[in-house]
């Protein structure tokens, strides 16, 4: 076999693939398969724990910090097998986003305190970037941190925090120098224990009637200066590195592969497979996912070499988002008259949520910076346009 990027499995890779496939068959609980939305934390925690105990929770992390230090091929194999098994996509806030940043920019104390609990899933993290009025123009954020002795005193308001009401800790962007010559220069990245007095957290109900987001109000919240990541007032650089990594996460082919499986299931059930035009579109989608996987492999290689991906992550996010959203369109077409059904479509191979999944992937063009903003970044930082 070979990975979706045509990298042929070596003998060791083939053995690893078989091991992952067999392990998933034995260990992935049936009730966690095929979720279109995020499973609730109480369901996900035991699964994360299992992956942690198996040593597969952080494929790209160095072994020194409890990661797997997996090869590019092994990382692809893991994503492919997890996608094919319809395993849930885990929250990436800890292991995917702030963890690698702490490994790179954190103090030894910060690493020792936080990294082990991220891996075990004992502590859940949230991202405190957006504020009312500061989403796309993130550098305009106003949540303020004033130095008082060896503490920051934080006042302000964060919003659209995914899982903020489940999280134990938040990594947040805080304005620590309002007089800096450029707004980007007065921001720090701060780790905040969400149980600190003065923090009020309110869940936000979405159109889908779930409480996926929260907003947080900070009223004279005292946070040790030791919780600043990197240098004080140098948070924008750290935040950008984190966002580049977050955008790359969209290139992870696990979701796209999982969705292709669902398209095939639905198309077999409704007869859409017999239509040559549909087959043509499905083949195109499969080719797109190959391209996406190749990009992911390239990104993994860059990360393994210790280099930063930089502004290319914007282009990768746009393309990956587009591919996944087009597969979701294909899913609707495969479902035909059942596309708008509120509940899942029953197929001989199991139920498939069609409209829920279609709605879920709309979000990809908004979070971690909208597609419009990614186009602006690509125009400026990659193409050098004015």
Catalytic residue annotation: 246
Residue 83 binds ligand FAD (CB under 6 A): no
Q: How far is the CB of 290 from ligand FAD (least distance, A)?
A: 27
Q: Rule CB under 6 A: which of 134-153 touch ligand FAD?
A: 135-136
- What length does the chain have? 386
Shortest spacing between CB 145 and ligand FAD, in angstroms: 16
What is the rounded CA–CA span in Å between residue 161 and residue 124? 13
* Nearest distance, CB of residue 328 and ligand FAD, angstroms: 15
Q: How far is the CB of 321 from ligand FAD (least distance, A)?
A: 12
- With CB under 6 A as the contact rule, the residue among 65, 129, 166, 315 that binds ligand FAD is 129
Q: Least distance in Å: CB of 347 to ligand FAD?
A: 28
Beta-bridged to residue 126, according to DSSP, are 170
Q: Taking contact as CB under 6 A, which single stretch among the options 4-12, 234-242, 313-321, 364-372 is the one that binds ligand FAD?
A: 364-372
Task: Please give the structure tokens belonging to residue 268.
Answer: 């077999």
Interatomic CA distance for residues 183 and 178, integer angstroms: 8
Neighbouring C-beta atoms of residue 142, cutoff 10 Å:
14
CB of 340 vs ligand FAD, minimal distance in Å = 22
Q: What is the smallest separation between the CB atom of 367 and ligand FAD, expressed in angstroms?
A: 4
Q: Please state the φ and ψ torsions of residue 340, each to the nearest 5 degrees.
A: -95, 5
Site for ligand FAD contains 373 (CB under 6 A): yes
Q: Name which position in 369, 374, 377, 378 contacts ligand FAD (CB under 6 A).
A: 369
Burial level of 331, CB count in 10 A (0-12/13-18/19+)? buried
Binders of ligand FAD among residues 151 to 210 (CB under 6 A) are 160-162
Residue closer to ligand FAD (CB basis): 208 or 340: 208
3-state secondary structure of 35: coil
Nearer to ligand FAD, 120 or 371 (CB): 371
Cα gap 177→383, rounded to integer Å:
32
Closer Cβ to ligand FAD, 201 or 373, answer by number:
373
Tell me the residue number closest to ligand FAD, measured at CB.
135
Cβ-contact 260, 327 below 8 angstroms: yes
CA 174 – CA 199 distance, rounded (Å): 15
| CA dihedral of residues 162, 167, 171, 176 (deg, nearest 10) | 100
Q: How many residues bind ligand FAD (CB under 6 A)?
A: 17
Is residue 376 a contact residue for ligand FAD (CB under 6 A)? yes
As a whole number of angstroms, the distance between CA 93 and CA 114 comes to: 13
What is the CB-side half-sphere exposure of residue 165 using CA atoms within 13 A?
14
Member of 23, 56, 273, 367 binding ligand FAD (CB under 6 A): 367
Binding test (CB under 6 A) with ligand FAD, winner from 7, 43, 232, 366: 366
Contacts (Cβ under 8 Å, ≥6 apart) of 209: none
Which of these ranges, 9-17, 178-186, 225-233, 369-377, lies near ligand FAD under the rule CB under 6 A? 369-377
- What is the C-alpha to C-alpha distance for residues 263 and 324, in angstroms, rounded to an integer? 12
Q: CA 172, CA 189: separation in Å to the nearest integer?
A: 6
**Tokens 């997996």, located at residue:** 70
For ligand FAD, which is the closer residue by CB, 187 or 269?
Answer: 187
Which is it for strands 187-193 and 228-229: parallel, antiparallel or unpaired?
A: antiparallel
Q: 162 vs 184, which CB is nearer to ligand FAD?
A: 162
Q: Which CB sits closer to ligand FAD, 17 or 317? A: 317
Out of 363, 379, 380, 382, the only residue in the binding site for ligand FAD (CB under 6 A) is 363
Residue 148 neighbours by CB distance under 10 Å? 11
Binding residues for ligand FAD, rule: CB under 6 A, are 127-130, 135-136, 160-162, 363, 366-367, 369-370, 372-373, 376
């Amino acid at each position: 076999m070979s990975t979706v990027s045509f990298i042929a499995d070596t003998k060791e890779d083939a053995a690893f693939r078989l091991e992952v496939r067999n392990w998933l068959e034995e260990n992935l609980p049936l009730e966690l398969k095929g979720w279109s939305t995020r499973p609730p934390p109480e369901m996900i925690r035991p699964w994360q724990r299992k992956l942690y105990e198996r040593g597969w929770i952080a494929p790209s992390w160095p072994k020194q910090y409890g990661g797997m230090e997996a090869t590019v091929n092994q990382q692809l194999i893991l994503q492919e097998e997890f996608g094919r098994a319809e395993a849930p996509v885990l929250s990436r806030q800890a292991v995917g986003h702030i963890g690698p940043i702490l490994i790179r920019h954190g103090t030894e104390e910060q690493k020792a305190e936080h990294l082990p609990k991220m891996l075990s899933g004992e502590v859940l993290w949230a991202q405190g970037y957006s504020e009312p009025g500061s989403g796309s123009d993130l550098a305009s954020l106003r949540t303020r941190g004033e130095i008082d002795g060896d503490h920051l005193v934080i006042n302000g308001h964060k919003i659209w925090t995914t899982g903020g009401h489940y999280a134990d800790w938040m990594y947040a962007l805080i304005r620590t120098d309002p007089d800096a010559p450029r707004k980007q220069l007065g921001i720090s990245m701060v780790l905040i224990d969400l149980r600190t007095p003065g923090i009020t957290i309110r869940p936000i109900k979405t159109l889908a009637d779930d409480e996926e987001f929260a907003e947080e109000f900070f009223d004279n919240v005292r946070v040790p200066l030791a919780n600043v990541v990197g240098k004080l007032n140098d948070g924008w650089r750290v935040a950008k590195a984190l966002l580049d990594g977050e955008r790359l996460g969209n290139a992870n082919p696990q979701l796209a592969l999982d969705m292709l499986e669902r398209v095939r299931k639905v198309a077999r059930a409704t007869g859409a497979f017999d239509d040559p035009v549909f087959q043509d579109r499905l083949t195109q989608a499969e080719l797109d996912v190959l391209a996406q996987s190749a990009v992911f492999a390239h990104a993994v290689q860059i990360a393994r070499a210790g280099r930063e991906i930089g502004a290319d992550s914007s282009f990768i996010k746009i393309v990956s988002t587009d591919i996944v959203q087009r597969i979701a369109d294909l899913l609707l077409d495969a479902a035909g008259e059942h596309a708008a059904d509120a509940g899942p479509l029953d197929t001989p191979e199991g139920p498939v949520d069609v409209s829920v999944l279609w709605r879920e992937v709309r979000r990809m063009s908004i979070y971690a910076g909208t597609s419009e903003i990614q186009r602006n970044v690509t125009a400026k930082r990659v193409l050098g346009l004015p």
